[in-house]
Amino acid sequence: MDVSIRPVRATEHEALGEITAQAYLGDGLLDFGSADPYLEQLRAVGRRAGEALVLAAVGSGGRLLGGVTYVAPGSPWADVARSDEAEFRMLAVSREARGRGAGEALVGACVDRARATEGLSGVVLSTQSSMEAAHRIYRRLGFVRTPERDWSPLPGFTPLLTFRLAF
């Protein structure tokens, strides 16, 4: 599949928000299903785009396939990144585009952007243990598990796993 990566357009915010929400819902990644408060953040592409860089994966004919939020140091969207690290969050690809390179292209674009930023030592991310397809992408691109940085967004919730790619 021919995939290009570019910043999301304002006219795509709602559609990418829905792709992201449906990816998390469809994969059973939200503890409270369709009532999960995290859905609001997943759909808030416009807000994220105002505070971080949201990248879109686009297929032939300009079809929106998915997206990711690239988090530069100091961004309010950083969860686990240190001052010399970039982070990415909310990687999502539409169900019909999965397995065709869009997810890997989005991760690769985040890595390329971080490598091109002077002073960064790596890229980090948080993921759920059940996101095995994403883990395969991360490992293939050189990310390694950093269990000492695993964390839980709320007390009592299953910890999120962390991965890091060092430069």
User: Tell me: the pLDDT tens digits for 8-24?
Assistant: 999 999 999 999 999 99
Look at residue 95 in the predicted model and tell me its pLDDT.
94
Q: Residue 67 pLDDT more than 90? A: yes
Look at residue 142 in the predicted model and tell me its pLDDT.
98
Whether 60 and 44 have beta carbons less than 8 Å apart is answered as no
Amino acid at 55: L
Over residues 75-99, the mean pLDDT reads 97
Q: Out of 3.20.20.140, 3.40.630.30, 3.40.50.300, 3.40.50.620, select the CATH number for domain 4-166.
A: 3.40.630.30
**Tokens read off for 46:** 């416009």
Average of per-residue pLDDT values in the chain: 96
Q: Residue 1 pLDDT more than 80? A: no
103-138: pLDDT as tens digits:
999 999 999 999 999 999 999 999 999 999 999 999
**Torsion-angle region of residue 28: left (phi > 0), alpha (psi -120 to 50) or beta?**
left
Q: How far is CA 15 from the centre of its chain?
A: 16
Closest of 77, 75, 74 to residue 44, by C-alpha: 77
Look at residue 77 in the predicted model and tell me its pLDDT.
96
How confident is residue 155, by pLDDT bands cut at 50, 70 and 90? confident
Over residues 147-165, the mean pLDDT reads 94
Q: What is the pTM of this model?
A: 0.95
Q: Please tell me what DSSP assigns to residue 119.
A: T
Alpha helices in 44-155 (DSSP H): 45-51, 102-115, 132-140
Over residues 54-71, the mean pLDDT reads 97
